[in-house]
Amino acid sequence: MIAEEVYDLVLDDLFIRADHLVPGSNVFLKLEGLNPAGSVKLKTAIALVAQAEESGLRLPGTRLIESTSGNLGVALAMVCSAKGYRLTCVTDPNANPQSVRMMKALGAEVVVIDVRDANGGYLQSRIDYIHDRLAGEPGRTHWLNQYANPAGPKAHRERTARAVLDAIGHVDYVFIGAGTTGTLMGCAEFFRQHSPATRIVAVDSVGSVSFGGAPARRHIPGLGTSRRPEILDESKVDEVVIIPEADAVKMCRIFAGERGLLLGGSTGTVLAAVEEKAKDIPFGSVVVAISADLGERYLETIYDDAWVNGRWPEVIDTPQIPA
């Protein structure tokens, strides 16, 4: 493959089998972390920036701004650097330090908001900062707004979900993590139209309020919100599975030790949901799980014994990479 720009290198046809999670069925893990931005958010970033360009904004004269837990910020920084656009990423202390360094290395301004919102998270506080920034820089700053912008789900409707159906064919279940819910909504819309029998399973974290759960402190970026995203439409989802973060970390560490695959926190959450629902999945089913990113950005958290021990000491006994 030879591309004109780095953001053209979207790899949408990479899967690895994980049949052991649902004995008697075929389980495919769609790996989204092997593009240059390292996550499924590259497709979101391309779509959000394209929508801003098509809206008539004077780019590169206008600064783009977005709230991000990490992966979207890296992807946006990559796209904006290649296009010559100014970008501000608004994140919080839960963001992986490596992601923050990558955003800065790619030329983005990074603002870290450390004031918790009413639900114990940082999302509303990040958005409040963006509103203040927009008010103080009228006409000079534009919010991409992944939480309400239909360009995000459209990217995953046209690319991510289509790639699954093209590669796998018949699909009985799709497990998709719910963060900003752009990937979830786009995939759900596509399967509702092109494979209505496919069961859409949304996966969220304990402590997230997206599906009406009680707010609680969370430690792993990527899944869950402390503010319901505007693009979320629960009517397009068949089932919601809520997973404790400790189970997600345990699944990540098991895959590292047994499969040689470092997975990101949201992937661990999704795979823990697949394992939890295995008893309800009929024999011979075809199951697809979306892996939003890989684990290199989590070496200081999920794969660090001291960090995990300080939060979930019961997880440390989980097998990891053999000594």
What pLDDT, in 10s, does the model give residues 95-134?
999 999 999 999 999 999 999 999 888 999 999 999 999 9
* Contact assessment for residue 211 and residue 240, using Cβ atoms and an 8 Å cutoff: yes
What pLDDT, in 10s, does the model give residues 293-307?
999 999 999 999 999
Q: What residue type is assigned to position 134 of the chain?
A: L
Cα–Cα nearest to 200, from 189, 208, 209: 189
pLDDT > 80? residue 321: no
Q: Based on the number of CB atoms within 10 Å of its own CB, is 261 exposed (0-12), middle (13-18) or buried (19 or more)?
A: middle
pTM: 0.94
122-125 contacts at long range (C-beta below 8 A, 24 or more positions apart) = 122/92, 122/93, 122/94, 122/226, 123/67, 123/225, 123/226, 123/227, 124/226, 124/227, 125/92
Phi, psi of 6 (to 5 degrees): -60, -35
Residue whose token pair is 């939890």: 276
